[in-house]
Chains A and B, each alone.
Chain A
């Protein structure tokens, strides 16, 4: 059962554009929402994370927008660069039973053209 739905599957933008990746969830027990970036042949690396008591968080060129009532959150990449070309995963984590597991979306493959 897919608990975190991510869209789009793939995205192509020109350098300087602002790609937006969206995620939606159903489980109201989720209380931590990280975004990971993965390059081919590498493990996922944490980009930025947000908790549901905050509606927006910025770190450098990356911004998360969070809508608790709609159970949706999105990643915006400002002034995108060819080096941002990678696969991006949203994730959600419920705190339950004394441990935190990450539930990932299916991923968005981003290509930034020069």
Chain B
């Protein structure tokens, strides 16, 4: 069974550029969450999407945006990159069918972004 897949695996950008990261959830999962993991720290929540709608947003600037497609895959976009955006970006998927239920979130391997 395929787990959560993310692309690309690594990316190098320069300050001011824009980046798009992609995520495909586990088959049957309808919810995707994005997290940023800076080296040496725990992941920080950025967004959660369910059925193409944003369910929740973390404390990140408007330079960060995301969307979810009809096939439940998702993109995370970051504009005007800063050096501090260098991190591992993780995508997590869950079934998402019942918002009242705390569900297991399954993480992908991440995309490592380096901003120079």
Q: Is B99 an interface residue (CB 8 A)?
A: yes
Question: Bound state CA distance, A102 and B43, in angstroms?
Answer: 9
State how many residues of chain A have any CB contact under 8 Å with chain B: 29
* Chain A interfacial positions (CB closer than 8 Å to B): 4, 6, 31-32, 34, 36, 41-46, 49, 51, 89, 91, 93, 95, 97-107
A43 and B104 contact, CB distance less than 8 A: no
A43 and B41 contact, CB distance less than 8 A: no
State how many residues of chain B have any CB contact under 8 Å with chain A: 27
A93 → B minimal CB distance (Å): 6
Chain B residues with Cβ below 8 Å from A106 are 40-42
Chain A residues with Cβ below 8 Å from B102 are 31-32, 51, 93, 95, 100
B109 and A42 contact, CB distance less than 8 A: yes
Interface class of chain B by DSSP: loop
Question: Bound state CA distance, A99 and B106, in angstroms?
Answer: 15
Q: A44-B43, A97-B56, A99-B56 are in contact. List 11 more A-B contacts (CB 8 A).
A: A6-B42, A32-B102, A41-B109, A43-B92, A43-B107, A49-B104, A51-B102, A91-B42, A101-B45, A102-B33, A102-B105
Chain B residues with Cβ below 8 Å from A51 are 102
Q: Is B74 an interface residue (CB 8 A)?
A: no
